[in-house]
Amino acid sequence: MAGKKTPNGGSRSEQEGTPEPRRGPMREFSRSLPMSLLRAREAVMRQFRPSLRNHGLTEQQWRILRALAAVDTIEVTELARMAFLLGPSLSRILRDLEARDLIERRAAKADLRRGEVSISPKGLKLIEAVAPTSEAIYAEITSRYGARKLGELQDMLGELERSLAAMEVADEEAGEADE
């Protein structure tokens, strides 16, 4: 019966509340790579959000603190690239983290126009406070999905990222040749 029009003009599936899939020149929306990655990201982050909220952190603030915990000092522009945040968003997040004494900011020695940032001792203590819950969540995800599969997934995602980065470079070179 799917697709047949009813007396009021709608299809039977529309009346039942399930829209009929439209076929177009593209793959199904639910099977697109960006949507699959977004659904997987959401499923993962749904596990971490309550813990972050309990510590007064947003996902983006946690991402910044995690990135800063991995380095001594980093330029703000490099931090934006590392954490996949736009400059204006990063500026607001850094201002909030600095107001809470979780990070330290200063001008770069080599170029006073550039800013550097590092995690503060208080920020490191917060990382230490969140870490046990975070690791427990990782352990549960690993238990449910499988350590081997999780490792393979991370390897495949890294490989996908590298292969697309090479593709972007090829596109950029083609664009430069046109100029």
Q: Where are the domains of the chain?
A: 37-157
What average pLDDT does the structure give for the chain? 86
pLDDT computed for residue 30 by the predictor: 77
Rounded to the nearest angstrom, the gap between the alpha carbon of residue 38 and the centroid of all alpha carbons in its chain is 9
Q: Closest Cα to residue 103, out of 116, 113, 112?
A: 116
Q: How many CB atoms lie within 10 A of CB 144?
A: 9
Q: Pull the structure tokens for residue 95.
A: 């201002």
Please check whether residue 67 is in contact with residue 85, taking contact to mean a CB–CB distance below 8 angstroms.
no
> Is the CB of residue 125 less than 8 Å from the CB of residue 101?
no
CB 119 within 8 A of CB 103: yes
Q: Within a 10 A sphere around the Cβ of 85, how many other Cβ atoms?
A: 19
Alpha-carbon radius of gyration of the chain: 23
Is residue 76 within 8 Å of residue 114, measured between CB atoms?
Answer: yes
> Structurally, what CATH architecture does the domain formed by 37-157 represent?
Orthogonal Bundle (1.10)
* pLDDT at 109 (0 to 100): 80
Q: Which residues contact 71 (CB under 8 A, 6 or more apart)?
A: 118
DSSP code of 10? S
Give the residue ranges of the chain where pLDDT is below 50: 1-3, 178-179
- pLDDT for position 178: 47
| Tens-digit pLDDT profile for residues 102-135 | 999 998 787 767 889 999 999 999 999 999 999 9
**pTM for the whole thing?**
0.75
Q: How far apart are CA 89 and CA 83, in angstroms?
A: 11
- Cα–Cα–Cα angle for 36, 38, 40, nearest 5°? 70
